[in-house]
Amino acid sequence: MIQKSQTNPLPIQNPLFWFSVTLSFLVGSTINLLPVTFKVFQKLFQAGFEMQGQVNLFYFMGAILGNVLAGFLTTRIGPGSSVRVGLALGSFGCVMLAASQNFFMVQTGAALMGMGSVWLMIIFGTVTAEYFQEARQKIFAALLGTMAIGGTLAPLALGAYISNAWMEWNWPWWIPYIILAGFYLLTLLNVPLVLKKSEKSRVKLKITIKPLLQFLKSLKLTLWLIGLASILHGIGQMGAVVWLGRLYAGRLPLSETQVAWMISVNTMGFIMGRVVWTFFGGRLPDRILLAISAGVGSIFYTLTIFSNNYLFGLIFIFVAGMAMSGDAISLQSFTALRFRQSAAKAFGFTQALGYLGAGAGPMLMGYIGERSGSLEESVWMIPLTIASLSVLGLSWHFLDRSEKVLNP
């Protein structure tokens, strides 16, 4: 049986760590594909900003359901069985999207992809909390950095494919999604032995609504505040991924490859941010890290919106991505620290709220953009919500310190 890590270095010899890295890469590859595919949806289904926002909303509606179910089921059927469910959902969602004959199938496929990919996030979050508590910040930095690598490479590959193979050579647009489905299935066939063994010690599954209601009643203010921070992070971060490339495409004659670069450069910033913020891991309180990273991110997303130069836009969005990577690290780390004994449920709850923001925020931006005829006004939600996140982190830290003084 794998022993829980007692040291701070990354456990690079532990197979669970590398399996979690694989899961995070799949999640990253999946989450950034849909915004690049909007050009296909526009041509095939006459989708405007509002309908494109709906695709993103359905993805995160599936993510919300996946978070809730994965958090509760993982504690009952074990991570071995649970991870198979997540991988199967992701694979089937990719196939459904690739086979779409109408917009409802697109929405359904997006929802299944969201459910499956975020299900896997709960798994690697739970594994980190259970086996690698002491090195949690560094491991979350590594896993989220791996997600960023997938989120960088996948949209670039798809953007190049759409610009050339689909638009120029008339190849089927759905081939990249079939390839991704194959990777999901391949991972499903290689679940680590330690997770398979964990299934035997779990109780028999019995699904009722009572545990969910009991959990919601027992929630503490701390978890609600983490949830609020996750909503704000989701609105700002996913709003940038979905709409800033389209904003520049409305101003400048950009190809789909160039639009994809806006998404990928943002996630490249996430990769570099892992290196920068890992240096501060353990040196700064989680909420101070949250406040600083969100404040810097808000400034550079503002500069991205103001700029009319594509090159400057890439630079600004890169720095913004670097800053925002600290938000994700601090929220995941703080959740693992405060809710170690109920990590699966806590991650499921906070991630569900985060994806509520990630789905509803860009949807609202698309709705406003559809009504106004452009995205020029609606994208200001991005820096404003991230600035609010910075204020929340800073005030929360000092209020919590005051409470400890009054109630030692």
Q: What is the pLDDT of residues 85-125, one digit of tens each?
A: 999 999 999 999 999 989 999 999 999 999 998 788 877 77
Provide the pLDDT confidence category of residue 244 given band limits of 50, 70 and 90.
very high
More confident residue, 25 or 403: 25
Q: Does 3 fall in a domain?
A: no
User: What b/e string do you get for 283-316 counting C-beta neighbours within 10 Å, with b at 16 or more?
Assistant: ebebbbbbbbbbbbbbbbbbbbbebeeeeebbbb
The answer as to whether 69 is a domain residue is: yes
Q: CATH no. for residue 235? A: 1.20.1250.20
What residue numbers bound the domain in which 352 lies? 15-202+215-402
- Higher-confidence residue of 247 and 147: namely 247
- Region of poorest pLDDT, from 214-223, 231-240, 257-266, 397-406: 397-406
Burial class (CB in 10 A: 0-12, 13-18, 19+), 185: middle
127: helix, coil or strand? Answer: helix
The answer as to whether 209 is a domain residue is no
Question: What is the model's pTM?
Answer: 0.81
| 155 in a structural domain | yes
User: CA triplet 333, 342, 280: central angle to 5 degrees?
Assistant: 10
Whether 203 shows a pLDDT value over 70: the answer reads no
| Residue of 139, 330, 314, 303 lying closest to 232 (CA atoms) | 330
Calpha distance 404→23 (Å, rounded):
38
pLDDT for 134 equals 62
Q: What integer pLDDT is reported at residue 5 of this predicted model?
A: 41
Dihedral (CA of 67, 116, 56, 93) sign: negative
- What is the total count of domains within the chain? 1
Any domain includes 4: no
| The residue count for the chain | 408
Per the domain annotation, does 408 fall within a domain? no
pLDDT at 202: 46
What pLDDT does residue 406 have?
A: 32
Q: Which residue has the tokens 């791996």?
A: 146
Q: What tens digit of pLDDT does each residue of 161-172 get?
A: 988 888 777 788
